[in-house]
């Protein structure tokens, strides 16, 4: 059995690492032959919208999935006509457009921040008059890790933000003074079996995930989040891992965005859960029985940006695990992550503090 993955980044690499013990083989499409996936599988070099490269992938793979979302819907629709393609094209298309995403949430009664579509500077002024300031202006497409968005705090911010974001179709969202950010990862197979991981609490810096802690213990929020993601998965006839990021505001969940793939906030599951999100994604797209998602203890994950900390110092921390993606260093680039698993939340947090200090030294160069 050979699995094709569009994108050979670290997510694709970790999918392959999880799949090899199951006797599976992997082939990627990526614009770079040096991408992390090349360490564990063949790379067909080509852009994500290259019909020839994706056509070759469809010819040699038994099932195709993806680790990126910026793949044109028209191209993957053609692939889906030739080979099993999961998660479904509709899920990918919905996640690519912030307006379609928010409207889908609204149709499924999943609460979100208030939002309005914005197509012109005049429409932006009208939207601000309705939603107020501060608010957040986002491009509808191609925004991740803090890209494609600006916080508007005063009327003088409108025109510069519009121009900085390129004047493309956008969405304006009401600013939410949230208490924390959490995410829920669910997984569903075509036959309908569904499992959920525990909520994780996430901390971002400049729009990039800095670290996560799991489990985030709140029975009511866990139950609500599971209901929301279950409705979304059923609506999309979903197969694979699906993530929703939420704001927690006044004790309620507001959906920020979805990711129809394995997710950075779920890296803790590699050591911190009985079955990782990566293995469960593979199981799901092959319609195999899903693995247990129970926590092994109290876990944390720290992203390593710009430079990697000394391996010896990381491994000296009790319960720590080091994951390098084999990338060249450059500012703000995700080069790897560290996880820690401990028997108690206090021990986890103590180890997390040490990891954050090491990661901070790495980020400072």
Domain of 51: which CATH number?
3.40.50.20
Q: How many domains does the chain have?
A: 3
Q: In this structure, is residue 269 part of a structural domain?
A: yes
> Do 336 and 230 lie in a common domain?
yes
Alpha carbons 85 and 79: distance in angstroms, whole number: 7
> Do 157 and 186 lie in a common domain?
no
Q: In this structure, is residue 105 part of a structural domain?
A: no
Residue 242 sits in which domain range?
Answer: 180-363
Q: What is the mean pLDDT of residues 148-172?
A: 94
Q: In this structure, is residue 107 part of a structural domain?
A: no
Alpha carbons 148 and 38: distance in angstroms, whole number: 29
CB 253 within 8 A of CB 225: yes
Paired sense of beta strands 84-85 and 194-196, if any:
unpaired
> Do 238 and 333 lie in a common domain?
yes
User: pLDDT exceeding 90 applies to what percent of the chain?
Assistant: 91
For 111, half-sphere exposure in the C-beta direction (CA atoms, 13 angstrom radius) is 14
Query: Strand, coil or helix: what is 263?
Result: coil
> Do 186 and 300 lie in a common domain?
yes
> Do 167 and 194 lie in a common domain?
no
pLDDT, one tens digit per residue, over 257-304 is: 999 999 999 999 999 999 999 999 999 999 999 999 999 999 999 999
**CATH number of the domain within which 335 lies:** 3.30.470.20
Query: Tokens 């994108």 correspond to what residue?
Result: 7
- pTM for the full predicted model: 0.95
> Do 135 and 235 lie in a common domain?
no
> Do 321 and 195 lie in a common domain?
yes
Alpha carbons 328 and 297: distance in angstroms, whole number: 33
The predicted structure's pLDDT at residue 70: 85
> Do 55 and 131 lie in a common domain?
no
């Amino acid at each position: 059995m050979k699995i094709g993955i569009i994108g050979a980044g670290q997510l694709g690499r970790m999918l392959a690492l999880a799949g090899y013990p199951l006797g599976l083989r992997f082939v990627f499409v990526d614009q770079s032959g040096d991408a992390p996936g090349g360490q564990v599988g063949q790379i067909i070099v080509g852009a994500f919208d290259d019909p020839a490269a994706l056509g070759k992938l469809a010819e040699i793979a038994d099932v195709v999935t993806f680790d990126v979302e910026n793949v044109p819907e028209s191209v993957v629709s053609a692939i889906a006509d030739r080979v099993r393609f999961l998660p479904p094209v509709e899920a990918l298309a919905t996640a690519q457009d912030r307006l379609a995403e928010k409207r889908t949430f609204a149709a499924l009664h999943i609460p979100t921040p208030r939002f309005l579509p914005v197509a012109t500077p005049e429409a932006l002024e009208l939207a601000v008059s309705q939603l107020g300031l501060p608010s957040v202006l986002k491009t509808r497409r191609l925004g991740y890790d803090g890209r494609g968005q600006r916080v508007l705090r005063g009327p003088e911010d409108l025109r510069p933000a519009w121009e900085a974001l390129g004047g493309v179709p956008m969405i304006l969202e009401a600013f939410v003074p949230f208490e924390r950010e959490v995410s829920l990862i669910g997984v569903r197979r075509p036959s309908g079996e569904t499992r959920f991981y525990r909520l994780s609490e996430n901390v971002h810096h400049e729009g990039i995930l800095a670290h996560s802690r799991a489990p985030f213990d709140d029975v009511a929020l866990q139950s609500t989040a599971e209901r929301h993601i279950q409705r979304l998965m059923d609506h999309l006839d979903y197969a694979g891992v699906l993530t929703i990021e939420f704001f927690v505001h006044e004790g309620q969940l507001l959906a920020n965005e979805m990711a129809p793939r394995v997710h950075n906030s779920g890296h803790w599951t590699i050591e911190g859960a009985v079955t990782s999100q990566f293995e469960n994604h593979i199981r799901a797209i092959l319609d195999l029985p899903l693995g247990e998602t129970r926590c092994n203890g109290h876990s944390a994950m720290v992203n390593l940006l710009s430079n990697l900390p000394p391996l010896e110092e990381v491994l000296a921390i009790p319960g720590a695990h080091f994951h390098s993606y084999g990338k060249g260093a450059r500012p703000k680039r995700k080069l790897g992550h560290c996880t820690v698993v401990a028997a108690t939340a206090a021990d986890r947090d103590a180890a997390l503090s040490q990891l954050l200090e090491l990661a901070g030294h790495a980020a400072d160069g």
